Structure 1
Amino acid sequence: MASISPLDTAPAPNRQQLALESGKIEKPKNEKELPVPSRKHTISTFSGVITLSKAMVNAGVFSLPYAWKLGGLWVSFAASILIALVNWYGDYILAKSAQYLSKKVGRSSLDYGHFAKKVCETSDIEFLRKHSHAMVFAVDMSILAYQLGMCSVAILFISDNMVNLFGDQIGGTLDQKMLIFSTIALVFILMTNSFTNMKIVSFFAIVSTVFLFFGSFVIAQYTIRQPNHWSELPAYTDFKSTIMMMGILTYAFEGQTMVLPVENKLAKPENFLASFGVLSITMVTCSSFMTFLGFIGYTAFAQHVGPTITINVPKDGFYTSVNICLMIQSLLGNGMAMYVIFDMFQNGFRTKFGKICPSFPIRVADKGFRVFWVLVTYLMVVLIPHLETMMSLVGVTAGTMCALIFPPLFEVIVFWTDWKENLSTCHRMFKIVRNFTAMILGFAFIACGVYANMVTLIELFAKPHQSLTD
């Protein structure tokens, strides 16, 4: 996989970049002196907010009430605010570093992979310059794991809802039902991932957005009308369950990998990080909605809340149709998440495969490439057929890497020289200590999260659930 990288097809640097890197012109001393490269095919600030909000809010939000059940009412409330702030901080310094580096190397935009490569190549540290591909590999593998996890969660969400609606008609244990409905979902997912036209993918995104907001509104209004049990609920639980809860909350911010793509497309990049810009509006809106849904869902259904709150609504005609709409939304969302993987690796795959099998039809190879990754997500579902555990595991690993490990590391490397020249020693040390503290906490969270999820998986396989709300 290391050789199949989107960097193989990176755009050629412009004259300004070559001049800067060769030393023919003097490098600017700080960000304000850097020229702003022009951008093409841009979007407005409003479109940026809508796009990033849709990326942040997906089917994962319907599992937030279950996360609150794992963590307890008030610990979950505090954790929701804390994780929202951590995600905002990581996204902010990531975008800030990318904007600075884009100006420095004379490019209008940098995606996550190219950004990681340029971070190392422009560093004053020789070791980083020599091993830039190792950093790119780490970033690409984290994004790959995150996207595969999102696709697996989509299959599990569909399967959980199908078990809830139709499981009584086929019989068998819960795990057997999950396997059957996951296989049925796989057929439709293979169909949606066969489309390569970007216009069709964009149409899927529009339909998915409409279904998501419609379903969210219907479920929220039903939930808020239920009797409230907040005074009866525990304020906190045990350590393992709390870590699981934090993993699900981290996963719920599914748009971490979309921060740079959205920033890259803005007509006015400065509006992304402004006080009332794209990032701040998106994070406040999405985190408020997530906290609201988690609170009302847990206080309404208490200990009976399911891995996804959609299984707690009635099974009548109207709510069943809403559930079906949300399953379609997840089906289409799976295709969009897979598109990120295809976009990252398909060009490199074509190049390598063409050299190995030059006479083999490339269109057939492309289809096989897509089927392979879909089957990988299906295998993940078969191995971990539990929505809440899959979300937590993805959140504490790839989600934490993208939110709390890479952004602080990149900021320190990108601004190292600038901080030495323009900041006092105390101010510079504060920034460095702050970022390394965030990274240490991130690695500790990964270690605790993997341990908690492994213990939970062992318990689940030792004593299988008999129903979705066990």
Structure 2
Amino acid sequence: MISDEKQPLLTGPSSSTPIDNVDVQNVELVNDPNLTKDEKSKTEYHPASERCLEHPTSNFDTLIHLLKGNIGTGILAMPDAFKNAGWIFGVFGTLLMGFICTHCMHMLVQCSHELCVRNQRPALSFSEVVEDAFMLGPVPLRPYAQKMKKVVNVFLVITQLGFCCVYFLFVATNLQDTFRFFHINLSVHTYLALLFIPILLLAMVKNLKYLTPVSLIASIMTAWGLVITFYYILQDLPNTKTIKKFSSFHQLPLYFGTAIYAFEGIGVVLPLENNMKNPEAFGGWTGVLNTGMVIVAVLYTGIGFFGYLKYGEHVLGSITLNLPNDMLAQSVRAVMAASIFLSYGLQFYVPMNIVWPYVKSKLTSEDALKHGEAVTRFVLIFITFIAAALIPNLSGIISLVGAFSSSALALILPPLIEIVTFWPDQLGKHNWKLWKDVAIIIFGITGFGFGTYASLEAILNHA
């Protein structure tokens, strides 16, 4: 969220070379349909060989970052997602969702590589891939290149601020549950207010170098919390007859929103691939991406199924809130709350890096520039605080963020980019890629619409 946790642990190099300054002759050679495959390979630009990486990551490093980028608050909400789907639909739906999201990640990487070759650029970000795809795509779409880049950035900001809002609320609700054990009864809003200053100080850290050790500690805490959570939910399991096989159609959009929120690791894919020592190992059937996403899908399905089986219709927005009131369970809540708290700064890094350059370009005086970044950070953090205070419903806000913004980034934009990038004659035999992409887009738009509506309805009813 960055994956649920969409962690900006690595920021890939990106050439600032504009499209207009590309070596036109080389680009024409690469795209010449009359060249044979061997001739193309001799003239083709190889982006990976042009990347100047100060600290390239190994395959194992990338796998760890990919797992951290996908496993966070979303996995703890999967039992609640299964409650809205039923266990049979939940199991097969989650595996299918994982397959589709992983395929969309592959599409994004493939399109990025293709556009890097065409434009002679070593690496591209998500928004740059969209911009270049439209700039070199069908002529009627080219005027919209800059607008599409802004659309992607807006969705990235909304998604990441949504994650920050979920983090705020997650920490507050788990702290509330932990302190109840010690007979301290305070409202969620009180804990949100107490958290504001510590989170503000954490998010004021500008350099990722100082946040990386914090992320490592958070990863260890998350692993510990998941191990103990599985220890509890795998004990004394009832028969599957005690839970629903299928839920109502009215609840399915809520399942979609939570599931896509949990699987939304697409924001971290390009930075990870761009920073690999051997980027060719990222794709492929047994590559880093497939290996990591299989692990993620199995974990999500496992904790979703067993968590729902254990607690049934009483399962809450975070499975940690269902754990018993003993010291070990309280330690899980405290550890997971601390882990998510420490991860806030990394989540906040992405929207800040998008918003601040825009705000900076509007400032003219030296005083405004001097204090502008700090003020911008405060305003964005305050927005996440207000949103968490106004919507103290963890499952509802997770589903809303997933349905509204994550579905656009994970399911709608990648197939759209593939269509535009390879239009009109590189979409496979009988244009099978086109029809496949259209089907995914329709699925994404359907989930976007119904999921957003159902999430808002649930939030309003809860209020």
Q: Structure 2-normalised TM-score?
A: 0.89
Question: In the alignment, is residue 40 of structure 1 matched against residue 42 of structure 2?
Answer: no
Question: How far did 1:126 drift?
Answer: 2.4
Provide the residue aligned with 1:113 in structure 2.
127
Q: Structure 1-normalised TM-score?
A: 0.88
| Alignment deviations for residues 170-218 of structure 1 (CA, whole Å, 9 cap, x no partner) | 557xxxx121112222222112101112221111111111111111111
347, 357, 373: which one aligns with 2:380: 373
144, 157, 169: which one aligns with 1:156: 169
Question: How far did 1:143 drift?
Answer: 0.9
SS in structure 1 of the partner of residue 22 of structure 2: helix
Give the whole-Å Cα distance in 2 for the aligned partners of 1:218 and 1:453: 30
Distance 1:137 1:25, change over 3 A: same
Residue pairs, 1:66-215, within 5 angstroms = 66-123=80-137, 125-167=138-180, 169=183, 171=185, 177-215=187-225
Contact 1:28 1:34 in 2 (8 A): no
Contact 1:16 1:105 in 2 (8 A): no
Could you list the runs of 5+ residues in structure 2 that have no partner in the other structure?
1-12
Contact 2:101 2:411 in 1 (8 A): yes
303, 308, 311: which one aligns with 1:293: 303
Contact 2:63 2:292 in 1 (8 A): yes
Tell me the percent identity. Answer: 23
Contact 1:49 1:282 in 2 (8 A): yes
Provide the residue aligned with 2:10 in structure 1.
none
360, 373, 388: which one aligns with 2:395: 388
Aligned CA RMSD, in angstroms, stands at 2.3
Question: How far did 1:460 drift?
Answer: 1.2
Question: How far did 1:17 drift?
Answer: 6.1
414, 431, 434: which one aligns with 2:433: 431
Question: How far did 1:359 drift?
Answer: 2.5
Could you list the runs of 5+ residues in structure 1 that have no partner in the other structure?
1-8, 462-470
Amino acid at match of 2:143: K
SS in structure 1 of the partner of residue 199 of structure 2: helix
| Alignment deviations for residues 281-334 of structure 1 (CA, whole Å, 9 cap, x no partner) | 011010001101111111112222221111122333333223211111111221
308, 320, 323: which one aligns with 1:313: 323
Question: How far did 1:454 drift?
Answer: 2.5
Contact 1:149 1:394 in 2 (8 A): yes
Question: How far did 1:268 drift?
Answer: 2.1
Contact 2:79 2:305 in 1 (8 A): yes
Contact 2:273 2:279 in 1 (8 A): yes
| Alignment deviations for residues 140-182 of structure 1 (CA, whole Å, 9 cap, x no partner) | 111111111111111111121122122584557xxxx121112
Provide the residue aligned with 1:441 in structure 2.
443
Provide the residue aligned with 2:23 in structure 1.
19
Residue pairs, 1:180-259, within 5 angstroms = 180-259=190-269
Deviates more, 1:23-32 or 1:330-339: 23-32
| Alignment deviations for residues 46-83 of structure 1 (CA, whole Å, 9 cap, x no partner) | 11111111000112211111111222111111211121
Give the whole-Å Cα distance in 2 for the aligned partners of 1:16 and 1:39: 20
| Alignment deviations for residues 198-244 of structure 1 (CA, whole Å, 9 cap, x no partner) | 22111111111111111111111122123334221111121121210
Give the whole-Å Cα distance in 2 for the aligned partners of 1:348 and 1:380: 23
330, 348, 352: which one aligns with 2:358: 348
